[in-house]
Amino acid sequence: MSEPEKALAARSLASCHDCALVVRLPAGRAHVAARCPRCGAKVHRRKVDSLARTWALVITAAMLYVPANIYPVMTVTSLGKSQSDTIMSGAIYLLQHGMWPLALVVFVASVLVPLLKLAALSGLLISVQRGSSWRPRDRTRLYRITEVVGPWSMVDIYVVTILMALVSLGQLASIEAGLGAVFFAGVVILTLLAAESFDPRLIWDRAEASHARS
């Protein structure tokens, strides 16, 4: 048995998620669902439809990113005077008032991180689709960073929700969440799901295949 044949044989095997039975999957057939012969659970070698799902979620998140930055996130009403701020105007406001560390935090967590996440996921998806074998190790690390950093973007949403609950003094002062907060939460959640649905093993599959071809 040659090396490629061995690899192929290994790739046609999978472990059942429920009962851990190792089953053989039919090779080379797309769009079929395999079930465990013992417990009946669905058996996959890789995450199902990983690329398509990730793409769909990334695209949706990218679309939501636009209104998330246009609409105000928070409306502060103080003594009858109300002020609405978008994420960007909030960061600028903080910067203008000399609170640049805070401004930096807001800018990084709420503007830069989601954007970079979207860029990183898109980059990973494209590289996997094109079957690139370029630095699979670094790309995997990038994926891990993306996954770890992702939830921190929710800080903004937490701040808004906590302030809303804390500052509700009727006519004196009140804080309301804007439409932008909803979109922003959507962006963060969708990027989290996208990162979750991406299967980093695909990076190595392609690298292996190209390696085998060469």
For residue 108, the cross-strand partners are: none
Residue entry with tokens 């009962």: 19
- Write b or e for each residue in 20-55: b if 16 or more Cβ atoms lie within 10 A of its Cβ, otherwise e: eeebeeeeeeeeeebebeeeeeebebebeebbebbb
CB of 125 to another protein, least distance (A): 13
CA distance 137 to 29: 29
Task: Tell me if 120 sits within 8 A of 146, measured CB to CB.
Answer: yes
**Contact set with another protein (CB under 8 A):** 1, 9, 13-14, 21-26, 29-38, 40, 43, 49, 52-53, 56-57, 59-60, 63-64, 67, 79-83, 190, 197
CB of 141 to another protein, least distance (A): 26
- Cβ proximity to another protein: between 12 and 132 the closer is 12
Residue type, 123: G
Task: Tell me if 202 sits within 8 A of 174, measured CB to CB.
Answer: no
- Cβ proximity to another protein: between 37 and 151 the closer is 37
CB of 149 to another protein, least distance (A): 22
Give the pair of three-digit tokens for residue 189: 């959640």
CB of 93 to another protein, least distance (A): 13
Which DSSP symbol is given to 168?
Answer: B
- Cβ proximity to another protein: between 109 and 195 the closer is 195
- Cβ proximity to another protein: between 80 and 101 the closer is 80
CB of 33 to another protein, least distance (A): 4
- Cβ proximity to another protein: between 6 and 130 the closer is 6
